[in-house]
Structure 1
Amino acid sequence: MSLRLPAGGQIRGQRGLQASQHHKLPHHFIDDYLLLHSSTRCADACAQASGNYNAEVDTGSHTHIDSLGGRPSAHSSGINFAMSGSSLDQTLSFPNSHGERLSAKFVDAGSKDIVIFCHGYASSKNGFLFPRLAEELASRGKSSLRFDFAGNGESEGTFSFGNYFREVEDLRAAVGFARDTLKLNVGAIVGHSKGANVVLLYASRYDDVPHVVSVAGRGIMSRGIKKRLGEDVLQRLDQEGVIEQEASSSSGRRIKYLLTKESVDERMKLDMLGEAAKIQAHVLILHGSSDNVIPVEDAHMLASRIPQHTLCVVEGADHNFRQPVVADMVIQRIAEHLASTVSQP
């Protein structure tokens, strides 16, 4: 079922993407409904953030997740911690399955659960809204871990265009590090853009984290390649098999890498919708209606396949939610969602 909340307070009921009955309800009824149904909380903030932004919320079936057990023990196991900024913010690293060190930031708020963030293409642990989201979660008593995938940011390894399932294994290493070394329960994984696809693929493959947040993820993987790389590059790739390319990181740094036909084919053949249908975790899907990198249609497609989901479409928002009022709203809504669904400290 989905709910659309335009500024006038009208709610349109839907099943999947097919319109059905229409109901016009007073504002106080809508507010009471949203407060009573935590699965639609993101609609409340979307509707109130600004008169220029409406919200569409699609809520699938839901399963209550009980509290995950155990207080964390002391952090140890030979991991090097370096304090930076706030005393809660610790710089560290851990190995992936290939022996590469992955750079990370751990914000220790003293909770027994932790949220892990995954960045997008050519970005880093300090990209998107993740540092601000980590601060907001800490203010609510939630610990978080954000890290650079191999070949990105400050992590070891080689940058690659594809590497979706290799990045899934990097996330697997982060989950294992949080559990085995930090002695914390992983309550949720959050990803933006390519990182959103990574967290969805992780949930499809491993099904051991109860909550997933997908922000601006892609549903049809074959789209967008020609726009990003150019038709001439794809033609050369068919002939030569490998081409030297440059990517611009989120910090503005130019990254030289080898683009291979194998990496492009990996993405082209990835059945994201089929993988989404296997996910048993609850997934919060956030997407901007004015995203010109990944169309909002992809969010609807993912929602149609994921059994337990909440879909929040923010009218007027772009791929990175750059507008200040939207950025603030997204941070608050994700933090509120995680604070209400991931077990309490």
Structure 2
Amino acid sequence: MIRAIAIENRRGLTIRGYLNRPDDYNGTLVVYFHGFTGNLTEHGGMFRDFSRLIAAHGFASLRCDFTGNGESDGAFRDFTYDTLVEDAEAILDHARTLDKKETVLLGFSMGGAVAAYEAARRAEEIDRLLLWSPAGNLSKLIKTRYEKAPKLTNGNVDYPNFELSQALYESLSQYDWHSGLENYHKPVKIVHGRLDQAVDYLEAYRYHGLFPNASLTIIENAGHGYDTRASREQLFAISLEFLRGRRV
């Protein structure tokens, strides 16, 4: 059964999402963190399709839009690393109230970076971690875009379809997405496409080296969004096996 959910964050904004709990629920809840300028459906329906696939195997999914994205409150111009972490923590606080035996945190791209960051700080709550193309280099990418682009009168940048704020730029230095990852000793699965043009696949090796209990798969013909049928099927198959508790 799929139902809409609403979570209020510390700023009083509503985070909106979906909880998909199948009738034959096996007790494992997967919490999803989407990428930069993404949403709870994700690129090409990636999150939606994976949640449907794993529901057929008894896994529940909690997918939400960060504030300023998708159907959640706020505007993207108000999005910063502070709001990102605040929203991630509000979603995890909500997940803690749900009926479950274990929690698996899944993050894609930017969502992978913040998922890893939160797992290291809430290890007692996060039983396993699944990272798709984690963007540990996100700060560098945003910094480059912001500094090279013409500025609006308010100091923001008119990035295609999104307004990157000066506050976001100023928040970059406050977070090291790799900090403390060596303290998370539970199972981690990392998947990355070798043809990724948004986040260099070498970033996956850095994550793999930081986590004490991680395995890594590089999908040879996959880009950042796993756009081909073959690459997406491989991504989903590897991820499902990890959820089933098998070493992949």
Normalising by the smaller structure, the TM-score range is 0.7 to 0.9
Segments of 5+ residues of structure 2 without an aligned counterpart are none
Q: 1:206-221, aligned counterparts within 5 Å?
A: 206-207=122-123, 208-221=125-138
Give yes or no for contact 1:116–1:186 (8 Å, CA) kept in 2: no
Q: Deviations over 1:38-75 (max 9, x none)?
A: xxxxxxxxxxxxxxxxxxxxxxxxxxxxxxxxxxxxxx
- Partner in structure 2 of residue 143 of structure 1: 60
> Structure 1 residues 322, 271: closer, same or farther in 2, change over 3 A?
same
Give yes or no for contact 1:221–1:267 (8 Å, CA) kept in 2: no
Give yes or no for contact 1:200–1:212 (8 Å, CA) kept in 2: yes
1:93 aligns with 2:6: yes
Question: Partner letter of residue 70 of structure 2?
Answer: G
- Partner in structure 2 of residue 183 of structure 1: 99
- Partner in structure 2 of residue 80 of structure 1: none
- Partner in structure 2 of residue 270 of structure 1: 175
Q: CA deviation at 1:126?
A: 0.9
Q: 1:173 aligns with which of 72, 86, 90?
A: 90
Give yes or no for contact 1:179–1:185 (8 Å, CA) kept in 2: no
Whole-Å separation in 1 of the counterparts to 2:129 and 2:78: 24
1:294 aligns with 2:199: yes
> Structure 1 residues 232, 98: closer, same or farther in 2, change over 3 A?
closer
Q: CA deviation at 1:172?
A: 2.1
- Partner in structure 2 of residue 194 of structure 1: 110
Q: CA deviation at 1:230?
A: 6.0
RMSD: 2.3
Q: Deviations over 1:10-60 (max 9, x none)?
A: xxxxxxxxxxxxxxxxxxxxxxxxxxxxxxxxxxxxxxxxxxxxxxxxxxx
Q: CA deviation at 1:214?
A: 1.2
Q: Deviations over 1:84-132 (max 9, x none)?
A: xxxx222222212222111111111133231111110111101131111
Give yes or no for contact 1:151–1:159 (8 Å, CA) kept in 2: yes
- TM-score relative to the length of structure 2: 0.87
Q: 1:156 aligns with which of 73, 76, 79?
A: 73
Whole-Å separation in 2 of the counterparts to 1:221 and 1:138: 31
Whole-Å separation in 2 of the counterparts to 1:166 and 1:93: 17
Runs of 4+ displaced beyond 4 Å: none
Whole-Å separation in 1 of the counterparts to 2:60 and 2:145: 35
- TM-score relative to the length of structure 1: 0.64
- Partner in structure 2 of residue 328 of structure 1: 233
Instruction: Kindly name which structure, 1 or 2, has the bigger radius of gyration based on alpha carbons.
Output: 1
> Structure 1 residues 285, 164: closer, same or farther in 2, change over 3 A?
farther
Whole-Å separation in 1 of the counterparts to 2:172 and 2:101: 31
Q: CA deviation at 1:161?
A: 7.8
Higher relative contact order (CA 8 A, sep 6+): 1
% identity of equivalent residues: 23
Q: CA deviation at 1:160?
A: 4.4
Give yes or no for contact 2:29–2:100 (8 Å, CA) kept in 1: yes
Number of aligned residue pairs: 241
Segments of 5+ residues of structure 1 without an aligned counterpart are 1-87, 248-253
